[in-house]
Structure 1
Amino acid sequence: QAVITQSHCLLSAVVSGKQQVVAEILPGQSVWLNGVLKVQNSTQFGQGVAMLAPNCHVGAALGKSNAMPEEHTPMQGYLVTKDNVRLYADSRRDSAVVAELKPHLRYPFVAAQDGWYKVRFGGKTLFIAVPDVEKDRGIAVLTYHHLLKNAENHYFRQTSTTTSVTAFEQQMALLKQQGYRTISLYDIENYLDGSAHFSDKLISITFDDGLESV
């Protein structure tokens, strides 16, 4: 079912394991709802869905906007939103703004050309201007091997695979101070195949070899 929003309409989704507001559909813009996605009061968001706020006012859309949505298009990568990001109906700044993405999100794009990214949103192909976002460079995975207190480290001070407990604590404190959250390798798998939504400042921490010190 295609509907047209009659007021500002907030969308929420689970992002990095936490429910939050992820986008806002502007008044007078049409999106596809649960008739296609079969999830009550939801619309397409990235490769998943986002829920419409209970106070969203919508009405049936007529004419061209009721055409069937395009088939699934494979994503080519993610974009990172640092601020509110406009989704345009066409690859022109003077075209209608359909919705805005909220800051600190990773959002998949399906193509890039002539200064614009094509994305899928609400069952439609929309456009984001290249200067408005950053290209996602991936999620860093830190690998540690051997953790030792300095007083215990009699043999491995010069080895690159050994980290002092003090240094490890300082590195973890710095990541927390900078606003990073840790995610599991299962989350990394979902990130790679686009099956879940993720925020921008994420990191995964692993320990190799299963040494007794760990």
Structure 2
Amino acid sequence: MAETDSVAVYGYHPPLPKGMTARQAEAATAKSRSHYENVSPAAATLYRGEGPSSVNGKDVPEGGCLGETRRKVGLGDTTRLDATFNKVNLQASQQASNDPRVSSLNKRWADCMKESGYHYADPLAAAGDPAWTEGEGGDGSQDSDSAGTPKPREITVASTDVRCKQRVDYVRVRSGVEAEYQNKLIEQNATALSADRDTWKAAIAKANELMAKRG
């Protein structure tokens, strides 16, 4: 589905999985919410290892069930493992946002949106308008319902957004500028990123091995 076709149906919401109806998606969302709501505080703390040191006479492993699983697949501190990647990703995005080429691009996109009466500083502000998600909690928003189905205004804004991006060649220019910064940061952090990649690959292989043994 082309982007213009997608926003005409889903607005700023992600498209449904192939073959899934809106009613099925709503049921799946409700089931997921119900699952997490039914997890007791005791079970949650046991999972993270933040509760008692033993349960029913059995010692709780350090870090709980999550900590034990990470050790079994060879993962230690995943926060540390993700730190370099997150730093590169965030810095590249920030540097691109401050680049004059992107600043100019945002202005041209915003000017295009104003022609249709919409006032946003940049595409992120448009996509992140609280109006698109407030209704999902059932508070009566006029722009999305309790299932997250977009209403006409969201679809109109999103469709205008796409047309303005096409007019100013937004995606190609913005992604090109950000890629420049990403490549520089990747080169500067190549050793750490390679090590983290190898750790994650080994952990996935170990997880697959353990799952295979369980049948």
TM-score range, shorter chain: under 0.3
Considering fraction of residues, name the structure with more helix.
Answer: 2
Please state which structure has a larger fraction of its residues in strand: 1
Q: 1 or 2 for the larger relative contact order (CA 8 Å, sep ≥6)? A: 2
Under a length normalisation based on structure 2, what TM-score does the superposition of the two structures give? 0.18
TM-score (norm 1): 0.18
